[in-house]
Amino acid sequence: LQSNSCGPDFAEENTSSEEQAMIKIAGNSYLASPSLPDFHGCSPGWSSAFYGAECFDSEVHSYLKNLGKQKSSESQNIDAKKVELEQLLMMETKNYRKTIKFYQKLLQKERRSKGPETKSMLPKLKGQLQEMKSKVQFLELVKKYQMMYAEQWGVESYVLPAVIHNGKTDTMDMAPMDESSLLLYYNTEKHQCNNQNGVRVLQAGTPLGLMAYLYSRNAFLEGYVQQFLYTFRYFCTQEEFLQFLLDRISSTLSSASLDPSTSLAKICNRSFYILQAWIEDCYSVDFATNTDLLGTLKEFISSKVASLNGYGERLLSLLEDAAARKSGSTDQCSGLGKCEEESEEGRKTLHSLCRKLSEDVSRKNFYWKLSKGMAPIAQYQRERLHTGSAVLPKPCCSSFTEETSVSFARADEVGPFLLIECSAQQLCWQLTLLQQEVFHKCHPVHFLNSRALGVKDKCVAAPKAVSADTVSLKVCNLFLSKCIQDQYLLQLLKNADSISTWVAAEIVTCHTTKRQVSLLSKFLLTAKCCYEQRNFATAMQILAGLENLIVRQLPAWKILPAKVAEIMEELKAVEVFLKSDSLCLMEGDRFKTLPTIPSAHVLAMHVQQLETGGFTMTNGAHKWTKLRNIAKVVSQVHAFQENPYTYAPDFKLQSYLRQRITRFKDADISALAADNCANFHQIPAEKHSRKIQDTLRRMKATFQ
């Protein structure tokens, strides 16, 4: 790896002064007693799995390299880098926040008076905002790269055999071993990096080889660690992976504090960082659902690690925080370690700062395109039902349970009238918040191996008569047999099916054709508003309800306004777009600033398509290129969770919607439609009588 690869443009400096300084500082402090402020979160995050080695380019490395230098001749100082970067980011963030507030005031003024001065100032200010946003985003990326302290403990290719053998033998005393039996590479084209002829990229490996590659140089920066954490269940169980890490810690812990530059010290420290990244990113899917695995880890830390260095105390604290977030937090966005509280009051992330601006821009100028080969969908006049009072924040009730009980008592009395009265935008916002609540509880790993859970194309995840706990794992199971799989995807898909059934039930239970037309229009406009706000999950759920066989045959469709009826074809075109490409929602920069909720079923189908075919080569090695592509697709779940919707919740409307959805979730649409005469085509009485007379006349003629 050292002689044949260069990784990112900035990462191949064999023994730079920066790395030596970091190892020296880390070796004298981390193993002895790491202070909590210096023990940073090390989960690479979704961007590492999605972009890979391209996540951090040479510009980021060069910028970080020059930070903390008072003079060009002075050596780099890590603490100075941290201080300067934090100050720059704080200053740029405050300026950006002030500019956004000024922009919003001008936007409101322009809507009221539409003065020429305000109109001419808005484009200039918008350009300044884009520049400031890019700068803040770049500093956030530099900060994330600076937090990759785990990379200092990466080892070279010839040390990987020592990692396989528990790290008991130092590389200075062992003979060279054949690496081809563990890992398989392929050569890329000529790459301009330190005048080398090419780059070797990992293609396949044995389970032990793939686990050992976690210790290789640049594994964090190239995205391998995050991709591994998403996909390792295809070739090893959680218990096997944990035991692999604990064995490396046990065999190297006693000698790791002697010399931080030795391979044993690097293996020990890298093991702790990998373990920490695993807990931060996958606690909810691996440790929370497997008490034996969690118990084994806690017992090992308490008995062998906590008494020797600060790693043990930090990991136990990390496990406690992860358990608290799993049980009590409903607002987590993208996993553990991602929702850190800022020390400065008023400090906000890039996404929260961009959100209101992006929402204003998207509502003002929304132009949907399917792809280059398909014509853009025509834009229709949006329903003008949301007045100034409608978009004001609703007063929060003192107790959600009180509001729920009141709504439960009145839900059946009100019926579908409340749906007709509220605007499509209000309905869109509250359905989006309800959908966001269930979507933010899912994890990228939940979308893997969905065939084993019974998830199929154009059908629900499991039969309604069968609970999620009784789903049989048949031959379609792609995980190892002893690998425990969280089945939250079934809940997500069952929720989607309940909303679709609710939409169909509300329509067929309307007792007049006029009300059916009103409700059809409301659902169509709501679905349009949802996908315009990038809530594709609810939009597709409403579409599925409207495409119900009974609903599609209703007479109300014939008298529906033409422009409203055309939205149905628009929604079908959006569905085709979502199914066309697994990464269609990640194109461009819209997903970075605008909240997004994908369709869970469509995403599961994309992952199933990637899972089709063998995972191993003829020599038994697992195809890492296949696993890497799967990790890239599922990583968008965390990407979308980073940027939540900020609509004002209407608890009364939400409670009403919950009750109606719960009431109709298992309803038989055919039975409901049979009790309502508005669902049938009515034949006029005179015409009906004439048909009977003609029939009798023909029958009489046959007997003559």
Q: Delimit the domains of the chain by residue range.
A: 48-147, 154-169+180-188+198-325, 418-460+483-676
Sequence-distant (≥ 6) Cβ neighbours of residue 591 within 8 angstroms: 534, 585, 636, 639, 640, 643
Does pLDDT of 392 surpass 80? no
| Stretch 241-267: mean pLDDT | 85
Sequence-distant (≥ 6) Cβ neighbours of residue 408 within 8 angstroms: 655, 659
What is the rounded CA–CA span in Å between residue 225 and residue 560?
A: 54
Superfamily of structural domain 418-460+483-676:
Ras guanine-nucleotide exchange factors catalytic domain (1.10.840.10)
Neighbour-count burial of 14, counting CB atoms closer than 10 A to its CB (0-12 exposed, 13-18 middle, 19+ buried): exposed
Query: Dihedral (C-alpha) 670, 674, 679, 683: value to the nearest 10 degrees?
Result: 130
Strand-pair category, 200-205 with 183-187 = antiparallel
The overall pTM is greater than 0.95: no
Token pair for 198? 């090419």
pLDDT single digits (tens) 338-385: 333 333 334 344 455 555 554 444 444 344 444 333 333 333 333 333
> Per residue in 433-470, is it b (16+ CB within 10 Å) or e — as a string?
bbbbebbbbbbbbbbbbbbbbbbbeeebbbeeeeebee
Domains 154-169+180-188+198-325 and 418-460+483-676 fall in the same CATH topology? no
pLDDT single digits (tens) 409-467: 455 555 667 888 899 999 999 999 999 999 999 999 999 999 999 999 874 444 444 44
The H or E element containing residue 204 is strand 200-205
Query: Count of CB atoms within 10 A of residue 122's CB?
Result: 15
Determine the pLDDT at residue 32.
37
Given the structure tokens 């002697």, which residue do they identify?
Answer: 258
Write the DSSP symbol of residue 422.
Answer: S
Does pLDDT of 300 surpass 50? yes
- The segment with the largest mean pLDDT, out of 162-166, 222-226, 377-381, 392-396, is 222-226
Concatenated DSSP letters of 171-197: GGGS----GGGTEEEEE-S---STT-S
The H or E element containing residue 622 is strand 622-623
Amino acid at 412: D
Neighbour-count burial of 587, counting CB atoms closer than 10 A to its CB (0-12 exposed, 13-18 middle, 19+ buried): exposed
Token pair for 219? 């594994």
Q: Quick one: three-class SS letters along 460-523?
A: CCCCCCCCHHHCCCCCCCCCCCCCCCCCHHHHHHHHHHHHHHHHHHHHHCCCCHHHHHHHHHHH
Write the DSSP symbol of residue 262.
Answer: S
Token pair for 373? 């080969």
Does pLDDT of 674 surpass 80? yes
Q: Quick one: three-class SS letters along 382-409?
A: CCCCCCCCCCCCCCCCCCHHHHHHHHHH
Determine the pLDDT at residue 98.
85
Determine the pLDDT at residue 522.
96
**3-class secondary structure, 36:** helix
Determine the pLDDT at residue 210.
96
Superfamily of structural domain 154-169+180-188+198-325:
Son of sevenless (SoS) protein Chain: S domain 1 (1.20.870.10)
Which residues is 374 bridged to in the sheet?
A: 371
Cα separations (Å) of 139 from 66, 84, 146, 182, 325? 13, 11, 10, 39, 28
Rounded to an integer, what is the distance from CA 175 to the centroid of its chain? 45
Neighbour-count burial of 690, counting CB atoms closer than 10 A to its CB (0-12 exposed, 13-18 middle, 19+ buried): exposed
Which residues is 200 bridged to in the sheet?
A: 187
Determine the pLDDT at residue 86.
78
Does pLDDT of 390 surpass 50? no
What is the rounded CA–CA span in Å between residue 235 and residue 231?
A: 8
pLDDT single digits (tens) 609-637: 999 999 999 988 999 999 999 999 999 99
